Amino acid sequence: MLSETPAIDIRGLTRVFESRKGFLFREATRTEALRGIDLTVERGAIFGLLGPNGAGKTTLTKILSTLLLPSTGTAMVLGHNVVREADWLRPRMGLVLGGERGLYNRVSGRENLRYFADLYGVPLAERERRIAELISRVDLDWAADRRVEEYSRGMKQKLHIARGILHRPEILFLDEPTIGLDPKSAREIRKLVRSLVADGVTIFLTTHYMFEAEELCPEIAILSKGRIVARDTVAALRQLVGGDRTLEAEAYGFDDREVEALRALPGVSKILSEEFGPALRLTLRVRTGETQPEDVRALLPNHPELSVRERRTSLEDVYLDLVEEEGH
């Protein structure tokens, strides 16, 4: 049955952009935005695709939402091919791109939604009730009849989301939904996104904000240079890079003997070194609870300025570790 199929099923997906430059456009350039993506996303949750600017997140989102053709490979959404069955898919999906474009600034928020409701085929008898319901849901009742050009960026993003779910899509693509927003507006958008899952909507969220992905997404894939370098829960990804705990030791330098002694501590899986001005920071990934900050201090007695602290391994740690490995 259709409901048993994944929300998204991608196999060997690539996208190459080719262009020409130089005198008489004789110099051809070839950019591989996606390099063999395999990914399955189940229905009914928020799935996060995380990566820096230029990793290929928006390219993948545009392919899945039928706005861009892949170069090779296949992409299935709701059990249907995004190339051959785009007409079937488009009424069943919503798309919200970050940024200012996609709204009509010289008319009101309510009139914007009326236009898109007609475009999406929302029945006329249902249109006004649906618009009023969404305006209330995104907390824009007080501004619904003001011109969109008077809206703040956060208000526009709320209107974008209302527009994206007007026609009750089965799957919603959110591409960097909080980019450029102030902390209060970003928090309101995240709260709104979480509420959509209760409607049974599958959400495919792209972001480069690590904390946002960690807060919203039960499962995450990390995209780097057009490839998926890891995919799992946040807890499993922490173990993948060496542990749930991180110990940091900072001083004015460590010799090789000291580093090797730290490496031999129980549960230490990886040590990373990073300069901070005149100081050097050693970051220890720890898999177990055996090694404590005092054990690190005991091995570094010749550093009176030494500071050692413990914290939980963050998703940012996971991302940076994986991207560093990918670069080697």
2-237 with 242-312: one CATH topology?
no
Tens-place pLDDT, residues 227-283 = 999 999 988 998 888 888 999 999 999 999 999 999 999 999 999 999 988 899 999
- So where are the chain's domains? 2-237, 242-312
pLDDT by residue for the chain (328 residues), tens only, comes to: 345 799 999 999 999 998 877 666 677 788 999 999 999 999 999 999 998 888 899 999 999 999 999 999 999 999 999 999 999 999 999 999 866 678 999 999 999 999 999 999 999 999 999 999 999 999 999 999 999 999 999 999 999 999 999 999 999 999 989 988 889 989 999 999 999 988 889 999 998 888 899 899 999 999 999 999 999 998 899 888 888 899 999 999 999 999 999 999 999 999 999 998 889 999 999 998 999 999 999 999 999 999 999 999 988 888 888 876 665 4
pTM for the predicted model, two decimal places: 0.86
For position 1, what pLDDT does the model report?
39
DSSP-derived secondary structure letter, 116:
H
Residue range 242-312 forms a domain whose CATH class is alpha beta
Residue type (1 letter), 244? D
Decide: 248 and 309 in contact? Cβ < 8 Å: yes
Q: Is the dihedral of CA 204, 325, 244, 212 positive or negative?
A: negative
For position 208, what pLDDT does the model report?
83
- Give dist(CA 152, CA 102) in Å, integer: 15
Work out the number of other CB atoms within 10 angstroms of the CB of residue 157: 27
Which helix or strand (DSSP H or E) is residue 156 part of? helix 153-164
For position 327, what pLDDT does the model report?
54
Order across the sheet with 245-251: list the strands. Answer: 268-276, 279-286, 245-251, 307-312
CATH superfamily for domain 2-237: P-loop containing nucleotide triphosphate hydrolases (3.40.50.300)
Tens-place pLDDT, residues 91-127 = 999 999 866 678 999 999 999 999 999 999 999 999 9
